[in-house]
Amino acid sequence: MIAHLKVRDAGMHTTLQDLGRFGFQSMGVPVSGALDSISLMLANRLVGNHDNTAALENLYHGATLEVCADSVRVALTGSATPLQVLSNGESDMTEIPPWRSVLLRRGQVLRVGAVRGSVCCYLAVAGGFDIPPCLDSLSTYVRGAFGGFAGRALRVGDALPLVLFNVRDNGDQYFPNPPELDTQQPLRVVLGPQQHHFTDEALEIFLSSSYTVSPHSDRMGMRLDGPRLRHRSGYNIVSDAIATGAIQVPGSGQPIVLLADHQTTGGYPKIANVISADLPRAGRLRPGDSLRFQAIELAQAEVIRREQVTQLDAMAAELRPVAVNR
């Protein structure tokens, strides 16, 4: 039997995601990819993968998987949730903190459980999954039923084939200073491209009010509840294309932040766009979380993004080996 992880409990919505599917948006194919790309990249670095290797994105409540390989190295990142490891016929349970890798052996069971401190967390496996890419990516696009594992979220009984059938014993690592999962700071936006479709009052309300993440949010869009934003005249525009993080405002006046699985084009005016450095933070927000928006200049957004790349590289350079205690 080939090395694989067997799905004991699929979790609420667990999908394979990489950094996204680029090159097909002109054919109407969404980018998809991890909601929190930073946590995906850091999970991959913990197990020695390339940043773009697909990992399991666990939404709300994560999966439980049985190791059906001689050994695997995994890492869980992106939330405060530790990885539960069940051994000896599941009679022993240990908790592995997030932001570190751990070696598991055949028969051990790993359980993610309820995701805390974010809506999602990432389980990366050293070597990655042995699944052919679809349109150059392993990201799952569930609405289109393609990508990832069979184009869908995991189900009980699925066997996820692994590239490696074993890993070397020593090699577990951890991040001494993992990123803070702060959701208190405002999401920074660049206004436009259709801010002039809104009244001056609407723009002021948008930048000064607190919004709440609606339970009707999904990987396509984060719907917000809050003060209504009024359009100057009508809420239909001749369709144009959409960038990830665009904040569109339909007739209800309630903004929607478009996330990984968003449509490539749309006909609602977009008041602003979340800056790329803050997209992973937007992707972590849970239903019921409150948030604010802060407008910054485009040039500033570019500086912030470059600083973030430098910080991530510095964080990755701090990877430390886990002390062997057996």
Residues binding another protein (CB under 8 A): 22-30, 134-135, 144-147, 189-190, 192-193, 237-246, 263-266, 270, 273-276, 298-299, 301-302, 305-306, 309
99 vs 198, beta carbon nearer another protein: 198
Least distance CB 229 / another protein (angstroms): 18
Q: How many CB atoms lie within 10 A of CB 145?
A: 10
Least distance CB 195 / another protein (angstroms): 9
Least distance CB 197 / another protein (angstroms): 11
Least distance CB 291 / another protein (angstroms): 16
27 vs 323, beta carbon nearer another protein: 27
Least distance CB 285 / another protein (angstroms): 17
28 vs 176, beta carbon nearer another protein: 28
7 vs 301, beta carbon nearer another protein: 301
Cα–Cα distance between 28 and 3 in angstroms, integer? 35
84 vs 264, beta carbon nearer another protein: 264
